[in-house]
Amino acid sequence: MNPQYQYDIFVIGGGSGGLTVVDEAQRLGKRVGLADYIKPSPHGTQWGTGGTCPNVGCIPKKLMHMTALIGEIRHELTATGWQGVDPHSKNDWNILVNEVQRQVKGINKGNDDWLIATNGITYYNKLGKLKDDHTIELIDKDGQSEFVTAEYIVIAVGSRPSFPTDIPNVKQLTITSDDLFSLKKAPGKTLVVGASYVALECAGFLTGLGYDVTVMVRSILLRGFDQEMAERIGEFMKIHGTKFIRGTIPSSIEDVDGKRLVKWVLNGQEQSEVFDTVLLAIGRSADTQNLGLEQVGVQTNKESGKIIANDADSTSVPNIFAIGDCVQGRLELTPTAIMCGKRLIKRLYSNGNQIMEYSDVSTTVFTPLEYGCVGYSEEAAIQKFGKDNLKIFTSEFTPLFWNFANRKGTCYAKLIVKKDDDVVIGFHYLGPDAAEVTQGFGVVIKLKAKKSDLDNVVGIHPSVAEELVQMQTWK
Ligand code: FAD
Ligand code: NDP
């Protein structure tokens, strides 16, 4: 302990990464300070402790996704002989939002109780700003400041939705995922702008909840992901009612009697349509403005605002670290922010030497046809190893129950295998319970298993996962 400073370590931002740092450091008996403050969205939406994931990210998103999947079962119940089920029954948005928010508030309360009751943690519901390399200014909601000092500082301020700069009043005329999960009024007919994780997940569950949903895609679906899988997700969503407008972006958005008149240009022609809600999901920007980074000498990418940190999470100022979504080149996922925070504290205080590895991280896109993957996409594998050096195994299948209950669409899986050593370098699965199926294959890929190892596994029957250990057809 360095008596020169009030805190051994001070964390700015109490999301997935920041809270992990706080927890790990207090367990080791360190004096820990935390500033977490939620700046309201342009519509004034605010939330409690825990950061993006439990409040406006993973948790409310998954609950709404699951609700939409449950809705699908209405049709299947009828098809499989259940009596008295109305397959056309409607979802009540207000009940759903209240239940989602009840769950979120429960998580907030757990965090609040822990932050207050744990010895060694001092929590400030204040905006943190760097004053010098060991001093943080803490500003409360009324603009009052106090200053604290720390030996180490960790920046974990996350990211917030981006807005286009060329559409007048865009912040007032649109909502983002920051507003959606607590929206007081049902979104109604919705235009979702964007085509990645957030856009497709939200479009998927809103369609499943019964809303008329159109996705406006600037270029491709799910940039960075295996494109064959991405296109199959789009096809499945189309079959299940989501509409797509591809190859354009809104040129203007206007208020017309409380609705949104959206115009765009496609193939040289101006087109327009009126929506109840426009949900922007065009990416996220690091929440690093007004953090005092420049003044203290912490380098950022001028364009994205992301903090530049080395493999050991150190910024250009050696005692200031940065983790999670606000750092350049990191995967923007809760479990990566958590593991990164854990490893940082082990390295700082318990002789740890492991840095965070960002390769072979499993992830799942919770679209109506869920997509789990780990390792290389087909495009990335071909670029790195060359097409002739790969075997790409694929399998299209329909889960037993889907056939039984007349569900439309098919599932698909792909394994990417290096010819020279038979190692599986890419796993892709489109089907039910993708996150549950993919987590185990994350271990397979991490252990550098060979295709022949998978061929030696006896499948579980009847299941969808058995498809993945008996793939014999390669492209
Ligand atoms: P955050 O969790 O964003 O926390 C940052 C905190 O810092 C916030 O509380 C913020 O208010 C606070 N803050 C900012 N500036 C200051 C300041 N100056 N002073 C004090 N406090 C400040 N990931 C998954 O793994 N699975 C999913 O299914 C998933 N779904 C998602 C769905 C949506 C709609 C979104 C938007 C994201 C989703 N993510 C998902 C991504 C995941 O939520 C983020 O990667 C994760 O929350 C990042 O954690 P973090 O600690 O870097 O930042
Ligand atoms: P992304 O940065 O991944 O995608 C942005 C999307 O918006 C792209 O489709 C992009 O198109 C499009 N876009 C960008 N600018 C414009 C514009 N001006 N007009 C129209 N479209 C535009 O952002 P997301 O918000 O979807 O996700 C952020 C991160 O959050 C992800 O990287 C992910 O790590 C995390 N997340 C994780 C989830 C999970 O684990 N299930 C779920 C949700 C989020 P183009 O391809 O043309 O550039």
Question: Buried (b) or exposed (e) across 250-272, using 16+ Cβ within 10 A?
Answer: beebeeeeeebbbebeeeeeeee
Query: Atom of ligand 1 at shortest distance to CA of 324?
Result: 52
Protein residues with CB under 6 Å of any ligand 1 atom: 12-18, 35-38, 51-53, 57-58, 61, 127-128, 156-158, 177, 198, 287, 291, 324-325, 332-335, 337
Q: pLDDT tens, 206-242? A: 999 999 999 999 999 999 999 999 999 999 999 999 9
| Nearest protein CA to atom 36 of ligand 1, as residue | 57
- The ligand placed nearest to the CA atom of residue 164 is 2
Entry field: residues in the chain: 475
> Hey, is 251 helix, strand or coil?
strand
pLDDT band at residue 179 using 50, 70 and 90 as cut-offs: very high
Q: Tell me which residue has its CA closest to atom 24 in ligand 1.
A: 333
Tell me how far the alpha carbon of residue 324 lies from the centroid of ligand 1, in angstroms. Answer: 8
Measured in angstroms, how far is the CA atom of residue 17 from the centroid of ligand 1?
8
Percentage of the chain modeled with pLDDT above 70:
100
pLDDT computed for residue 203 by the predictor? 99
pLDDT of 1 over the 80 cut = no
Q: Annotated catalytic sites, by residue?
A: 461
Residues in a beta bridge with 414: 394, 428
Contacts of 221 (CB under 8 A, 6+ apart): 195, 196, 200, 227, 230, 231, 233, 234
Residue 473 pLDDT: 82
Q: Where are the domains of the chain?
A: 7-161+285-350, 170-282, 369-469
Q: Is the pLDDT of residue 406 over 90?
A: no
The pLDDT tens digits of the residues spanning 284-297 come to: 999 999 999 999 99
CA of 269 to the centre of ligand 2 (A): 26
Ligand nearest to the CA of 123: 1
Q: Each residue of 19-73: pLDDT tens digit?
A: 999 999 999 999 999 999 999 999 999 999 999 999 999 999 999 999 999 999 8
Instruction: Express as a percent the part of the chain with pLDDT over 90.
Output: 94
Give SS3 for 452. Answer: helix
Q: Residues 6 or more apart from 214 whose CB is under 8 A from it?
A: 190, 191, 192, 242, 243, 244, 245, 273, 275
Q: How many whole angstroms separate alpha carbon 214 and alpha carbon 192?
A: 6
7-161+285-350 maps to which CATH number?
3.50.50.60
Query: In this predicted complex, what is the ipTM?
Result: 0.96
Which numbered ligand comes closest to the C-alpha of 366? 2
Say what the pLDDT of residue 75 is. Answer: 85
Smallest CA separation from ligand 2 atom 39, residue = 365
CA dihedral 422, 428, 434, 437 (to 10 degrees): 0
pLDDT tens per residue, range 271-284: 999 999 999 999 99
Cα–Cα dist 436/313, whole Å: 30
Per-residue pLDDT at 432 exceeds 90: yes
Residue 69 among known ligand-binding residues: no
Predicted confidence band at 356 (pLDDT cuts at 50, 70, 90)?
A: very high
pLDDT of residue 44: 98
Q: In this predicted structure, what is the pLDDT of residue 78? A: 86
Determine the Cα–Cα distance for residues 156 and 475; give it in Å rounded to an integer: 44
Q: Whose CA is nearest to atom 3 of ligand 1?
A: 158
What's the CA-to-centroid distance between 461 and ligand 2, angstroms? 37
Summarised one tens digit per residue, pLDDT across range 264-273 is 999 999 999 9
| Reported confidence tier of residue 3, pLDDT bands at 50, 70, 90 | confident
What residue ranges in 368-468 does DSSP mark as E strands? 371-375, 390-397, 411-418, 424-430
10 Å CB burial of residue 452 (0-12, 13-18, 19+) is exposed
Tell me if 7-161+285-350 shares its fold with 170-282. Answer: yes
Distances (CA, A) of 313 to 119, 205, 234, 237, 399: 27, 36, 37, 39, 44
- Smallest Cα–Cα separation from 286: which of 322, 247, 249, 257? 322
Q: Is 291 in contact with 270 (CB distance < 8 Å)? A: no
Query: For atom 33 of ligand 2, which residue has the closest CA?
Result: 332
Q: How far apart are CA 191 and CA 262, in angstroms?
A: 9
193 pLDDT band (50/70/90 cuts)? very high
Q: Is 268 annotated as a binding residue?
A: no
Q: Which CATH class is domain 369-469?
A: alpha beta
Q: Domain 170-282: which CATH class?
A: alpha beta
Return the DSSP state at 460. Answer: P
Q: Which tens digits make up the pLDDT trace of 302-347?
A: 999 999 999 999 999 999 999 999 999 999 999 999 999 999 999 9
Tell me if 430 sits within 8 A of 413, measured CB to CB: yes
pTM: 0.97
Q: How confident is the model at residue 358 (pLDDT cuts 50, 70, 90)?
A: very high
- 66, 198, 225, best to mutate for ligand 2 pocket (most atoms within 8 Å of CB): 198
At 381, the pLDDT band (50, 70, 90 cuts) reads: very high
